[in-house]
Amino acid sequence: MISNNRLRIAMQKTGRLSDDSKDLLTRCGIKINLHKQKLIAFAENMPIDVMCVRDDDIPGLVMDKVVDIGIIGENVLEEEVLNRQVQLDNCSYTKLKRLDFGICRLSLAVPINIEYNNIHCLNHTRIATSYPHLLKRYCDKKKLTFKSCMLNGSVEVAPRAGLSDAICDLVSTGATLEANGLREVEVIFFSKACVICKTGFISLEKKNVIDKLMTRIQGVIKARE
Ligand code: ATP
Ligand code: ZN
């Protein structure tokens, strides 16, 4: 494994967080040349390497200390924490900053034609989701029993396809739900993108780079408020 004193930052390669993450690092003055095919980009003007990966891999890379810093949605982060707690795996990290993008919520939604008064209408139903642990935590708290249908994509078509009675999926505007004949009935988790850092030993050189980076991120966000 390559080991040097350059700070390693993981961000999403392509998806809803990638443009905003890249824009944030650029506004912080980090000169990076991100290529579509390449996993890693070396900053020209600072001791920083940026790794572009699937968002789902970012929390684990930080918790396993493979990278120093990650830019990730709190939804994916919290799901990985719960997953690792079940597996009795290390799930430590430090949240350095909540960011001003990637704003969404994880919500329960049901077909518009079903009667829904409260969450107990979903007792013993099957719920499709990509976030089984966050869903279970919420349902346990509400004393709701449910069957899950784990899907990594196309969750919103599950009820129409006869795979589930309801869904638990990310929502920002609600347009996708509406287009699929679904109604948002319960928000189970509010999420934003955030900056996380690995725990444990970090060299003084890297600590200084992290401090500089966080001061600049703070400045970029303040300027946008
Ligand atoms: P990857 O290929 O990296 O696994 P993905 O398809 O799992 O990507 P995206 O759809 O790109 O993920 O979403 C990445 C993150 O963007 C989400 O986990 C969430 O934090 C945030 N996000 C913001 N708004 C939305 C939205 N309307 N729907 C889905 N995710 C959103
Ligand atoms: Zn993903």
ipTM at complex level: 0.96
User: Is pLDDT of 114 > 70?
Assistant: yes
Chain-centroid distance, C-alpha 86: 19
What is the Å distance from ligand 2's center to 78 Cα? Answer: 13
Q: Mean of the pLDDT values across residues 87-98?
A: 98
Residues in CB range of 209: below 8 A, 6 or more apart:
7, 46, 47, 48
Name the DSSP letter for residue 68.
S
Q: Residues with Cβ within 5 Å of ion ligand 2? A: 55-56
- What was the pLDDT predicted at 2? 58
**Confidence (pLDDT) at 1:** 59
Ligand found nearest the CA of 76: 1
Q: Among the atoms of ligand 1, which is closest to the Cα of residue 53?
A: 3
**What pLDDT shows up at residue 203?**
96
pLDDT digits (tens, 9 = 90+) for 41-55: 999 999 999 999 999
Mean pLDDT computed over 187-216? 98
- pLDDT tens for 146-173 read 999 999 999 999 999 999 999 999 999 9
The closest ligand to the CA of 54 turns out to be 1
CA distance 22 to 11: 8
**Residue 176 Cα: closest atom of ligand 1:** 27
Mean pLDDT computed over every residue of the chain: 96
Instruction: State the pairing for strand pair 94-98/193-197.
Output: antiparallel
27 class by beta-carbon count within 10 Å (0-12 exposed, 13-18 middle, 19+ buried): middle
pTM: 0.96
Which ligand is in closest contact with the Cα of 75?
A: 1
Which atom of ligand 1 is closest in space to residue 172's alpha carbon? Answer: 27
- Which ligand neighbours the alpha carbon of 13 most closely? 1
Ligand 1, atom 21: closest residue by C-alpha: 102
For ligand 1, residues with CB inside 6 Å are 12, 15-17, 54-56, 73, 75-76, 102, 104, 170, 172, 191
pLDDT the model gives residue 8 = 98
Nearest ligand 1 atom, CA 102:
23
Share of the chain above pLDDT 90, in %: 95
Atom 7, ligand 1: which residue's CA is nearest? Answer: 55
Which ligand 1 atom is nearest residue 55's CA? 3
Q: How far is CA 37 from the centre of its chain?
A: 22
Nearest CA to ligand 1 atom 27: 172
CA distance 170 to 10: 22
pLDDT at 134 (0 to 100): 98
pLDDT at 138: 98
Please say whether the beta carbons of 105 and 87 come within 8 A: no
